[in-house]
Amino acid sequence: MSGMEGSARARFSTLLASAGITVDGSAPHDLRVHDERFFSAVLAGGSLALGESYMDGWWSCERLDAFFARVMAAGLDRTAAGAAGGMRRLLALLFPLGRRSRAFVIGERHYDLGNELFEAMLDRRMIYSCAYWMNAETLDDAQERKLDLVCRKLRLKGGQRVLDIGCGWGGLARFAAERYGVSVVGITVSKEQAALAARQVRDLPVEIRLEDYRDLAGTFDAVVSLGMFEHVGPRHHRPFLEVVRRCLREDGVFLLHTIGTAETTAAPDPWILKYIFPESHVPSLAQIASAADGLFVVEDVHNFGAFYDPTLMAWNANVEARRASLPARYDERFFRMWRYYLLSCAGTFRARRSQLLQIVLSPRGVAGGYVPVR
């Protein structure tokens, strides 16, 4: 080991020690280094180098989720330079370009990775957003509870027309149509999602469209968006809500389900940007409120971010258990990337550095007042 490499190791070791993490230690949350170039690379390259070096096998950790929970809980990303400074917003979904010309990039780069992957990872309804684990033991149950919670918050009744912006594989649309007797229009920017969703709902009053939200038209009794607002971007928060307002009846309600941050930031993370979620940014509650100013009355805010930790852990467990059955195009480096994504996110939610917000909005205020649903 050269003197420079030794110095980098010492600096990195000191940094992690403040979070109770030992380099080459024996605890599940400790980091084990397999290539000494790791230290200088990460100290120079921040989170991009940290993630890429994990993908390349330069380091490993028995419990990545616990490693990141400790890093985030200790605030190393806020207080230190170099590697920890580069970790800041490691798990945020990042600053967007937000242009109409790039509206379908997130669909092509992430959601079109293949339905086989998401079928292996998700619950039986293929819901790719935080589950609601209140009185639930399994992922299937927790996602069903989330869908029912959403429908009750929207106050759905038979015969109503519902708009689902970012409908994914049609799980919510099918649930709402079957359980609540509504008709649904769902839009997505993913060709893979649209094709599978259309097959899933072909026997129901549900229409699935491959469409950008800016092209929406029509009037609906209720509007919902689960896990899509993170891809809109700060510059387009207001225009997005203006589209919702245009499409929503005066006496209707809109439920926005989004990951949120406790502080407003425009700082992109290069690893997430390059490998997981291009064109994305996690909003703060302040940004959402500012965008809604004058357009909507905020009826309810519900934070159940702690439930994203078990959701992500369940997704990772599913992928690990079923990876052998997935196509050969998902190679070892892909699985290391995917594990890093899911478990690092779990750690950040466990440290409560990221939140999950469900916000109910109405155009003029619900007559007589809105009764929160939990």
- Residue-by-residue DSSP string for 214-266: GG--S-EEEEEEES-GGGT-GGGHHHHHHHHHHHEEEEEEEEEEEEEESS---
Same domain membership, residue 36 and residue 175: no
Domain residues for the domain of 150 are: 100-362
Same domain membership, residue 343 and residue 316: yes
| Domain assignment present for 38 | yes
Confidence (pLDDT) at 359: 98
Compute the distance between CA of residue 174 and CA of residue 156 in angstroms, rounded to an integer.
14
Same domain membership, residue 131 and residue 247: yes
Nearest CA-CA partner of 362 in 195, 211, 212, 241: 241
Compute the distance between CA of residue 8 and CA of residue 14 in angstroms, rounded to an integer.
10
Confidence (pLDDT) at 112: 60
Residue 108 has pLDDT above 70, yes or no: no
Specify the higher pLDDT residue, 7 or 254: 254
Residue 364 has pLDDT above 60, yes or no: yes
| Domain assignment present for 93 | no
Q: What average pLDDT does the segment 199-222 reach?
A: 96
Confidence (pLDDT) at 81: 38
| Domain assignment present for 132 | yes
Domain end (from 87, 118, 149): 87
Same domain membership, residue 304 and residue 188: yes
Q: What average pLDDT does the segment 189-195 reach?
A: 91
| Domain assignment present for 370 | no
Confidence (pLDDT) at 101: 43
In the set 61, 130, 151, 345, the catalytic residue is 345
Instruction: Please write the tens of the pLDDT for every residue from 22-32.
Output: 999 999 999 99
- pLDDT band per the 50, 70, 90 thresholds, residue 238: very high
Confidence (pLDDT) at 88: 41
Residue 36 has pLDDT above 70, yes or no: yes
Instruction: Please write the tens of the pLDDT for every residue from 240-277.
Output: 999 999 999 999 999 999 999 988 875 656 788 788 88
Q: What average pLDDT does the segment 80-85 reach?
A: 39
Confidence (pLDDT) at 281: 84
Report pTM.
0.91
Same domain membership, residue 270 and residue 337: yes
Q: What average pLDDT does the segment 303-309 reach?
A: 98
Specify the higher pLDDT residue, 61 or 111: 61
| Domain assignment present for 185 | yes
Same domain membership, residue 199 and residue 82: no
Same domain membership, residue 330 and residue 194: yes
**Does residue 345 have an active-site annotation?**
yes
State the average pLDDT for the chain: 89
Same domain membership, residue 150 and residue 51: no
Domain count, the chain: 2
Same domain membership, residue 255 and residue 306: yes
Same domain membership, residue 341 and residue 265: yes
| Domain assignment present for 374 | no
Same domain membership, residue 249 and residue 309: yes
What CATH number does residue 152 fall under? 3.40.50.150
